[in-house]
Amino acid sequence: MSARQTIHRPPALGSVVRAQLRLILGRRPRAMWIALAIVLAQIVAAATGGILFGITIQSGPDQPTRLFFSKVSDFAGDLDFAIDEGAVAVAVAAIGAFIWAFFWPFRVWRGENPQGRGYHWAMPVGRRTHDLLRVGAGLALLPVLTAILAIVAVATAAAFGHTAVFPGWGVLFWVNLFAGPPLIYLLVSIPVVGSRHPSAWLWGTLGAGVALVSLLHAAGLIRLTEPLFGLLLGRAGLLTTLGGPIVSEIAGWSGRPAAPWALAWLCWLALAAVGVWLAATRRHRSI
Amino acid sequence: MIEELFQRFEDRPVAARTRGLCKRFGTQTALDGLEMTVPEGAVYVLVGPNGAGKTTTLRALLDLTVMDDGTAEVFGLPCVERGADVRARIGFVPDSQDFPYGGLSVDALLAHHATYYPAWDESYAGELGRQMAIDGRQRYGGLSKGEARRVQLVMALAHRPPLLLMDEPTDGLDPLAQDRFQALLADHLADTPTTVLISTHRVHEIEGLGDCLGVLRDGRLVAQLERQRLERLVRVRAEVPEGWAGGALLPLPVIRRGGRGREIAWTVWGESAAASAAFADAGATVRQVERLTLEESTRALLAMPEAS
């Protein structure tokens, strides 16, 4: 091989990661994604304010109708759920982050045709490595978004004088806030990376699950749905794991041991990571 | 098969080679044991009708398509096992217009592309952009087919790859842009030692470029030879007597039979003088013996009967 050819070598992986990050962030983010981010932030802010302080519409002959947050409803009425209002504020941020994490893989792979990522695969990087670097770049950006949503929620609460949102929660509460989105992101990334029809697979799987449960219920075979519900809502179920300490805090289950949740989360995360790895490995994904 | 129609280039360094490459898409066979050798420094024109397997061959070299059987290598590197190293040595102009990142400006797309090639020559990219009249501020997705093609050419050439793969490179280019493309490629080849593999079915558009020809039919190469050897492919126009059966007696391989009635126009493999003499000996009155253009040669070879 000639000396000339030795300068034609694959790029350093660090350069590829930086290129992927730039590509995901985009120099011209689409209006849809900007709008979604604004809407999510508004929902978080409004929901936080509403939940923490209630919403009052005040009007009178001397003043125009005004809508503002005031401490009218604090969930301490007849039904006392022992809800930590600060926890609810961050839970709202978590829901926002979960929703974002669900759609984030589609943003990460924006512009790449799932029918055949010819350009992406033609780059001088190992195909699996390249796919995983793209997924990893998206994953690295998720905590930033989650932090923004959390800051919006906490700042909104603080703006209305609810300073008690800061102290008193265990570390796991915050860990949960940042642990849930990556899990959702990786799970959704599996069909996005490995399938030619990711949306069809994603919605098809969800739809098929709902249809199956409905059919089994209609047929009186409720017991057969238990494994599915166990998978989602059992002690180590997916939704239980996603909810984790946040739900426990809200429901006043602070005494629950953290280790099983952490273990369940790690198991789900490992499962999702293996799924992404396999999706990136599938050799039949050719064009 | 006529042995002389298939050169193996065993005496020359090889830039790209496939051995027994097979690919099926469902019931369709795209490649059927393809044996192709692209000598280093050649401009190899791979021709064939639509669906002959040209694009699949290029994709095999880039490891974009998983093959059912056979191997492919570039500069001695196996394309599957050393895919990244192989692709680092390749500049690729795809046939598809389905190019990603339409939201990026041309400059941003080129900057992104450059990240992947340590050998990227920024000043050369700028020079190519000027020659191809590319406006870097335009959004890539808003470009016309021809404009997008020009950007793809810059992306393929600016890191001065040792091997250039071009799939229907003139597709979408207007006649002026085609001329510009040919001039640009000629300049590039003069500056940079490069092996070029061009896949096309529009041979006339690259008539002046190729020095090696591969003719692909039904997933197999029916001919692979240097262009100068094509001089032995001649068309003989002759007048023959009623009920002429001398064709069967010709000592030259007949590639294609044409003409009407007593006026025949046959393409044969041989020297002009020998062809003329052979037809005369067989009782025909030779009117003209002519060499074929690259496109005419391609057509003749594509129409060549299997038994030849």
Among A26, A27, A119, select the one facing B100 at the smallest CB separation. Answer: A119
Residues in B closer than 8 angstroms to A127, CB to CB, are 63, 83
Instruction: Give the whole-angstrom CA distance, residue B233 versus residue B278.
Output: 14
Handedness of CA A152, A155, A156, A162 (dihedral sign): positive
Q: How many CB atoms lie within 10 A of CB B78?
A: 14
**Nearest chain A CA: its distance from B112 CA (Å):** 6
Question: B209 vs chain A: nearest CA distance in angstroms?
Answer: 23
| A223 interface with B at CB cutoff 8 Å | no
- Say if residue A168's pLDDT is above 60: no
Residues 6+ apart with CB under 8 A from B151: B106, B109, B110, B132, B134, B140, B143
Kindly report the nearest CA distance between residue B88 and chain A, in angstroms.
5
A6 and B CB contact within 8 Å:
no
Q: How far apart are CA B78 and CA B180, in angstroms?
A: 34
pLDDT above 50: residue A67: no
pLDDT tens digit sequence for B111-153: 999 999 999 999 999 999 998 889 999 988 888 888 888 899 9
What's the average model confidence in pLDDT over A111-136? 87
**Residue B307 has what pLDDT?**
54
Asked whether the beta carbons of residue A11 and residue B59 sit closer than 8 angstroms, the reply is: no
Kindly list the residues from chain B whose CB atom is less than 8 angstroms away from the CB atom of residue A122.
Answer: 62, 64, 87, 92, 94
For chain A, percent of residues with pLDDT exceeding 90: 23
Q: Is there a contact between B149 and B141 (Cβ–Cβ < 8 Å)?
A: no
Mean pLDDT score of chain A: 75
pLDDT of residue A97 exceeding 50, the answer is yes
- Torsion sign over Cα B116, B160, A283, B112: positive
Q: What is the pLDDT of residue A82?
A: 43
Among candidates B62, B100, B103 on the partner chain, residue whose Cβ is nearest the Cβ of A112: B100
Question: Contact, B213 vs B298, CB < 8 A?
Answer: yes
Inter-chain CB proximity A122 and B62 less than 8 Å: yes
Asked if A27 and B118 come within 8 Å (Cβ–Cβ), the reply is no
For residue B172 the two structure tokens come to: 């979408």
DSSP state of B246: G
Task: Find residues 93-132 of chain A whose CB sits inside 8 Å of chain B.
Answer: 110-113, 116-127, 129
Least Cα distance to B199 among B220, B171, B227 occurs for B171
Task: Write out chain B residues lying below 8 Å of A19, CB-based.
Answer: 112, 115-116
Report pLDDT for A72.
Answer: 39
CB distance B76 to B94 below 8 Å: no
Mean pLDDT, range A275-287, rounded to an integer: 77
**Is A118 close to B98, i.e. CB distance below 8 A?**
yes
- Give A123→chain B minimum CA distance, Å: 6
Interface mutation target, options B31, B61, B90, B117, chain A, most CBs of A under 10 Å? B117
Look-up: residue for tokens 């699950």?
A: A209
How many CA atoms lie within 13 Å of A217's alpha carbon, on the beta-carbon side? 8
Inter-chain residue contact B64 with A287, CB threshold 8 Å = yes
Of B199, B212, B214, B217, residue with least CA distance to B304: B217
Q: Do A161 and A47 meet the contact criterion of CB atoms below 8 Å apart?
A: no
Q: Does residue B195 surpass a pLDDT of 90?
A: yes
What does the pLDDT average to over A45-51?
Answer: 64
Residues 41-60 of B with CB under 8 A from A: 59
Q: pLDDT at position B154, please?
A: 93
Expressed in angstroms, the distance from the first to the final Cα of chain B is 5
pLDDT, tens digit, for every residue of A236-270? 888 888 887 776 666 555 555 566 788 888 999 99
Provide the angle, in degrees to the nearest 10, between the axes of the packed helices B175-191 and B145-157: 0
Contacts of B178 (CB under 8 A, 6+ apart): B170, B205
How far away is chain A from the Cα of B271, in angstroms, using its nearest Cα?
38
Give B248-269 pLDDT, tens digit per residue. Answer: 878 888 888 888 888 999 998 8
On the question of pLDDT at B198 being above 70, the answer is yes
Contact A170, A245 (CB under 8 A): yes
> What six digits make up the tokens of A141?
């950006």
pLDDT mean over A113-132 = 86
Mean pLDDT of A9-38: 79
Buried-state track A31-68, b at ≥16 Cβ within 10 A, e below 16: eebeeebeebbebbbebbbebbbeeeeeeeeeeeeeee
ipTM (interface predicted TM): 0.84
CB within 8 A of B124, min separation 6: which ones?
B157, B158, B160
How many other C-beta atoms are found inside a 10 Å radius of the C-beta of residue A182? 23
Nearest CB neighbour to A11, from listed B96, B98, B117: B117
Alpha helices in chain B (DSSP H): 54-61, 83-88, 106-115, 122-131, 145-157, 175-191, 272-281, 294-302
Which residues, in sequence order, are bridge partners of residue B164?
B91, B196
Q: What is the mean pLDDT of chain B?
A: 89
Inter-chain contact B115–A16, Cβ cutoff 8 Å? Answer: yes
Query: Any chain A CB within 8 A of the CB of B104?
Result: yes
3-state SS, chain A, equals: CCHHHHCCCCCCHHHHHHHHHHHHHCCCCCHHHHHHHHHHHHHHHHHHHHHHHCEEEEEECCEEEEEEECCCCCCCCCCCCCCCHHHHHHHHHHHHHHHHHHHHHHHHCCCCCCCCCHHHHHCCCCHHHHHHHHHHHHHHHHHHHHHHHHHHHHHHHHHCCCHHHCCCCCHHHHHHHHHHHHHHHHHHHHHHHHCCCHHHHHHHHHHHHHHHHHHHHHCCCHHHHHHHHHHHHCCCCHHHHHHHHHHHHHCCCCCCCHHHHHHHHHHHHHHHHHHHHHHHHCCCCCC
CB atoms A117 and B116 under 8 Å: no
Instruction: Give the closest residue to A269 by CA, choosing from A153, A117, A142.
Output: A142
CB contact under 8 A, A8 and B99: no
Contact between chains at B102 and A111 (C-beta distance less than 8 A):
yes
Give chain B positions within 8 Å (CB) of A22.
112
The amino acid present at B47, given as its one-letter code, is V
Say how far apart CA B59 and CA B49 lie, in whole Å.
17
